A = this chain, B = another copy of it.
Amino acid sequence: MLLQKNEKLIMIGDSITDCERKRPLGEGLFGGIGKGYVSLVDALIQSTYPELGLRIINMGISGNTVRDLKNRWEEDVENLKPDWLSIMIGINDVWRQYDQPTIRESHVYPEEYEATLRELIQRTKPQVKGIVLMTPFYIEPNREDAMRKRMDEYGTIVKRIAEETGCLLVDTQAAFESVLRDIYPATLAWDRVHPSAVGHMVLAKAFLAAVGYEYQ
């Protein structure tokens, strides 16, 4: 696995990441790391590699867009001096365009999304051992659905940036794709966004595959 002894991994994002984590830092006893994919990543890693003493901190905040990440980047990422960083952002950037279309100041359109995300990565990449970029997703199998199509655009942006900047990429939409062949979206996420425990496991495994985790 890429992560080495005593290293620190920060996972930042929105409500999918947050999942009731502790403030200000999402770590520590009694579920400080939250109840979502970050907790699963931690549990799978610590139970497989207990000797590594890895420190994983959940810095997700519900409702965040990339614009919010930028505002708290110094305090919530840079000051914590991580060795590794994972970012999954963009769902709210898109969703607000579809669930409150008239409230335009809450939308983050593709240009702003791409520019902001690229800026954050370029700024931080030199300070860390690696960054894992996770695409945003929408648990909707119909690729012609308007919001799914839009989400795929944002996913494409993430892939482009990952390639340009040499980040590890996790294609979360693709990860869900395979499960959606057998399971209807309503079972995985009541609103097609917030996953059940099964959906969080799909995310966790996709992340772990990217960092070379070996299950045992």
Contact = CB atoms under 8 A, between A and B. Distances in A.
- Stoichiometry, as copies per complex, reads 8
Given A142-B142, A145-B142, A179-B50, A44 B184 contact: no
A215 interface: yes
A148 to B, nearest CB: 10
Interface residues of A, number: 52
A100 B187 contact: yes
Interface string A31-62: 10101000110111011001101110000000
Given A147-B186, A182-B50, A198 B103 contact: no
Nearest to A55: B102
A31 B197 contact: yes
Interface string A199-210: 011100100000
Q: Which of A33, A42, A47 has the most CB of B within 10 A?
A: A47
Given A35-B35, A53-B182, A142-B144, A47 B99 contact: no
Contacts of A196: 29
A208 to B, nearest CB: 10
Nearest to A30: B190
8 contacts: A40-B197, A42-B197, A47-B205, A55-B102, A98-B186, A99-B186, A101-B183, A142-B144
Interface of A: 6, 8, 27-31, 33, 35, 39-40, 42-44, 46-47, 50-51, 53-55, 95, 98-103, 142, 144-147, 178-179, 181-184, 186-187, 190-192, 196-198, 200-202, 205, 215
